[in-house]
Structure 1
């Protein structure tokens, strides 16, 4: 008489386990902007995020920081590899689709790739962030007019 109750409990426990496993796998496959912000904050606590844009597949995020610098995050499972872009350490060009950027990190080449965005406007804005993070220094002095 007790066996049917044991079998029903085992079936219910296995159904619960399979549902929780499926939910955990879904969370592992889909990076989240909130997790990206938290991971970047843990990696660089002194940097304040001003704006963030995800790629179309949400596997990478580009960050504009408060002082004109830029950052980058690439999803690896449920966490992100966070990178603070230093002046002169990134090369950017347009992707063939018009909605993406070809990015080459001179100090972290394993992050190189073509990053597609949902619109050309977002790609253009991110490219301006990356170019604006250079803060080029000039050796030329301004010549007064006159």
Structure 2
């Protein structure tokens, strides 16, 4: 037991001293999987600072795992419950989560392609709501 504790403390100290802010993507997968065990992860992209990981899930759902100092939050984004706005930096965007305001912020990715792909996931999530509303309207 003492050996496991020493390993854990050493690993956390190394992780904190690296300084690159990189979140372990394996950890993100495991943590999100524990929070939402019925959601299959298809793809993920982390921000440059490692403060957030966006996850594309089965059925074209989207999730976010966000670092908040010493803990992480996992959020399954409901259709139509996020607003995205462009930043001056083409590698990022600003997002407002109506169901989880603590996740609001600016998100910058390694490449423009990553930012575009994640924003398309969020747009697809938003359009899913519009399709449902349109289908619910009676035909004339």
Q: Is TM > 0.5 for Structure 1 vs Structure 2?
A: yes
CA distance in 2 between partners of 1:50 and 1:74 (Å): 18
Q: TM-score, normalised by structure 2?
A: 0.79
Q: 70, 73, 87: which is aligned to 1:95?
A: 87
Shift of 1:26: 2.8
Q: 38, 53, 62: which is aligned to 2:54?
A: 62
1:37 aligned onto 2:29 = yes
Segments of 5+ residues of structure 1 without an aligned counterpart are: 1-16
Compare CA radii of gyration and give the structure with the larger one: 1
Segments of 5+ residues of structure 2 without an aligned counterpart are: 1-5
Shift of 1:109: 1.0
Shift of 1:82: 0.3
Q: Which has the higher helix share?
A: 2
Runs of 4+ in 1 over 6 A off after TM superposition: none
1:128 aligned onto 2:116 = no
Q: Choose 39-48 or 94-103, whichever is displaced more.
A: 94-103
Q: Please say if residues 53 and 64 of structure 2, whose CA atoms lie closer than 8 Å, have aligned partners that are also in contact.
A: yes
Equivalenced residues, count = 125
Q: Please say if residues 36 and 79 of structure 1, whose CA atoms lie closer than 8 Å, have aligned partners that are also in contact.
A: no
